[in-house]
Structures are given as structure tokens and as C-alpha cells.
């Protein structure tokens, strides 16, 4: 699973492998800004305190016997 961090103003940081070496790619609005070899290099492009890790949860399976959502307890 890919790890990804997002920040203010459209910044995104993802870990990738480039030329056989792991780097942290900094993107802004989808455009690559830099491939950094250290967190210190990333900090030169974006404030680390503004970054938040995006965690994608696996889809939850529907359990048997669960009814559909209703709009009100008065409707049956």
C-alpha cells in the first residue's frame, strides 16, 4: 500500500522508487516539484507540520441480514 501525505496549497508527498533508489516525491497540484532523498530536503519545499498522512481503509463487506437505511422511524 502506498503511503501518501497531503498538505496545504495542493502539496502531496509520496514515496517512490526511482533508478533503484527510494525517494520522496513532492508534487503540487499534480506536478512534480522534486524527488528528495531525505525528509530535510522535503522540508525545503513544504512545511512538514502542514502534512497529514492519508490512510485508506479497505472497503467494509456488507454483513448478511442488515437492512437498508431508512429516512425516518415513522416510515416502515
8-37 residue pLDDT tens: 999 999 999 999 999 999 999 999 999 999
- Its pTM stands at 0.71
Residue 46 near residue 7, CB atoms below 8 Å: yes
Residue 41 to residue 39: CA distance in whole angstroms: 5
36-72 residue pLDDT tens: 999 999 999 999 999 999 998 888 777 666 666 666 6
Residue 6 has a pLDDT of 97
Residue 18 to residue 21: CA distance in whole angstroms: 5
The DSSP bridge partners found for residue 4 are 14, 54
Amino acid at each position: 500500500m502506498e503511503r501518501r501525505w497531503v498538505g496545504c496549497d495542493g502539496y502531496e508527498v509520496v514515496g517512490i522508487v526511482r533508478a533503484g533508489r527510494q525517494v520522496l516525491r513532492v508534487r503540487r497540484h499534480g506536478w512534480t516539484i522534486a524527488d528528495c532523498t531525505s525528509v530535510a530536503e522535503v522540508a525545503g519545499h513544504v512545511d512538514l507540520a502542514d502534512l497529514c498522512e492519508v490512510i485508506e481503509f479497505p472497503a467494509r463487506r456488507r454483513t448478511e441480514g442488515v437492512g437498508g437505511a431508512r429516512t425516518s422511524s415513522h416510515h416502515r
